[in-house]
Chain A
């Protein structure tokens, strides 16, 4: 197993952002998650969903939708774990 950060970005106040990352081996089991890097204690800041596209027989593109639940911009990391 290995973990990493695929992307760092900012999502505006109350906004939704969609990012994609391509050319991942279809044979790998991968999970995606998002972590805010802008401290703002007291309430959740980000929600996310993952969608998947089979780009070819052996390659996958992941689309990650990041929603800012707050009234100000939030910096974030898009993280992954390759489980196998």
Chain B
């Protein structure tokens, strides 16, 4: 088991994009799942021990699920930078040292605003916080969202921004720590899905700038963010970060994308995210929480990227509003929820998620199930119509109707289903039921949720 998130992870090394896609298909056949992809060659797969052999039989070429520590130095040297860091991170997460660090995690369980003076909770920003966007940036704001919901596959552009002095640089061990912590955080976050797993595809860049830590700048973020984006081939500001995310989405063939800047440069706040994307910023030291909590802070900030609100009091939260893909209220807000709310990553330093955050994140909410939605009666020879609303739009739902009034010898009812897209996230079904007989018939309308896309 790597890390402290309770998911068994194994490496699978491949030689091409086509093989990487074949691993995804093979994993799905044995109830395994590709959690992470680093570069073209390195996949981290969640697979139960009893499925190892079945997965190995289905993998392309000579691939097999292996431990990170079994990857030889010659193989590691042949990997690109992103792939090598992905392997090193998984190896580190499987180490006793990492387990000990997690067991002694500072401030475990504390509310994110437990010490508002010393370690205030994360900052949450919207594009309006930025100064005077130009015309191009304004046009970009209307483009397809880069992180509308947490579903399918997500490209993560992890940018470690270094400076010209030793104090602004990451050691090799610190780079591995950053990748291990972010890997641990997203393994956990993606694993909270109710029905459909998430795949994270990473692009990791280490950018070393010549900009001094106190160089004149509009603000602390601008000082390092814009030169880093320039080094990556993108323009400045929010628009540049969005363009980079869009490029990653195309290049890595994902549904969504965001960018994470992690640095030792002075920052506006130790950790913050732009609500709804496209980027977040974190200080390596991670304020009073320390590098050993980068994983949880990173998962929390990624929650903001995917539209989940803060739930601790000093954020100013209340139990209303309409957040995320499904437009749900912030009902676990500490200020107003019963008992101050329950444990949740958006509220405290914990590996827990309340029942509201999955809706805010926009996970596909379609675990397969059967049920009876309503019962009623249809008068003789007539048709009655019912509607049932607020079904998540990506749920595949099949409707059937059966009579509960016994009458032998001939069909009693027929039915027809119509669909209405009530909003972006929800569907209403209208079910017309016709009584084919000369006496009233009691019915029940049954549903089968078959899965989601």
Pairs of residues from A and B, 3 with the lowest C-beta to C-beta distance, nearest first = A44-B418, A3-B451, A36-B421
Closest to A37 in B: B421
A47 interface residue (CB < 8 Å to B): yes
B424 interface residue (CB < 8 Å to A): yes
B416 touches A47 (CB 8 A): yes
How many cross-chain pairs have Cβ atoms below 8 Å apart between A and B?
Answer: 68
Query: Which of B420, B450, B452, B453 contacts A41 (CB under 8 A)?
Result: B420
B430 touches A2 (CB 8 A): no
Given A3-B451, A46-B419, A81-B396, 12 additional A-B pairs, CB 8 A: A1-B368, A33-B417, A34-B419, A36-B427, A41-B420, A41-B423, A44-B418, A44-B419, A44-B430, A46-B420, A79-B453, A81-B450
Query: Which of A3, A31, A39 contacts B424 (CB under 8 A)?
Result: A39
Binding site for B on A (CB under 8 A): 1-5, 31, 33-47, 69, 74, 77, 79, 81, 83
- A1-B450, A47-B416, A81-B450 known; A39-B421 Cβ under 8 A: yes
Main secondary structure of the interface of A (DSSP, over half): strand
B421 touches A38 (CB 8 A): yes
B422 interface residue (CB < 8 Å to A): yes
Contacts of A2 in B (CB 8 A): 451
B419 touches A39 (CB 8 A): no
Q: In the complex, A40 Cα to B427 Cα: how many Å?
A: 10
B393 interface residue (CB < 8 Å to A): yes
Interface hits, B408-435 → A, CB 8 Å: 416-424, 427-428, 430
Contact sample, A vs B, 11 pairs, CB 8 Å cutoff: A2-B451, A3-B396, A33-B419, A35-B419, A36-B420, A40-B421, A42-B420, A43-B420, A44-B419, A44-B420, A47-B417
Contacts of A81 in B (CB 8 A): 396, 398, 450-451
Quote the shortest CB–CB distance from B387 to chain A (angstroms).
Answer: 8
Residue among A38, A39, A47 facing the most chain B CB atoms (10 A cut-off):
A39
Main secondary structure of the interface of B (DSSP, over half): strand
- A1-B450, A3-B396, A81-B451 known; A46-B427 Cβ under 8 A: no
Quote the shortest CB–CB distance from A45 to chain B (angstroms).
Answer: 5
Contacts of A69 in B (CB 8 A): 418
Contacts of A34 in B (CB 8 A): 419
Q: In the complex, A43 Cα to B418 Cα: how many Å?
A: 9
B418 touches A39 (CB 8 A): no
Contacts of B368 in A (CB 8 A): 1
A45 touches B453 (CB 8 A): no
Interface hits, B125-180 → A, CB 8 Å: none
- A1-B368, A3-B452, A5-B453 known; A79-B396 Cβ under 8 A: yes
- A33-B396, A81-B396, A81-B398 known; A41-B451 Cβ under 8 A: no
Contacts of A38 in B (CB 8 A): 421
Quote the shortest CB–CB distance from A8 to chain B (angstroms).
Answer: 11
Q: In the complex, A5 Cα to B393 Cα: how many Å?
A: 13
Quote the shortest CB–CB distance from A56 to chain B (angstroms).
Answer: 27
Query: Which of A3, A5, A35, A45 contacts B450 (CB under 8 A)?
Result: A3
Contacts of A39 in B (CB 8 A): 421-424
B418 touches A46 (CB 8 A): yes
Contacts of B420 in A (CB 8 A): 36, 40-46
Quote the shortest CB–CB distance from A35 to chain B (angstroms).
Answer: 6
Quote the shortest CB–CB distance from A38 to chain B (angstroms).
Answer: 6
Q: In the complex, A47 Cα to B452 Cα: how many Å?
A: 21
Contacts of B450 in A (CB 8 A): 1, 3, 81, 83
Closest to A69 in B: B418
Closest to A33 in B: B398
Closest to A80 in B: B396
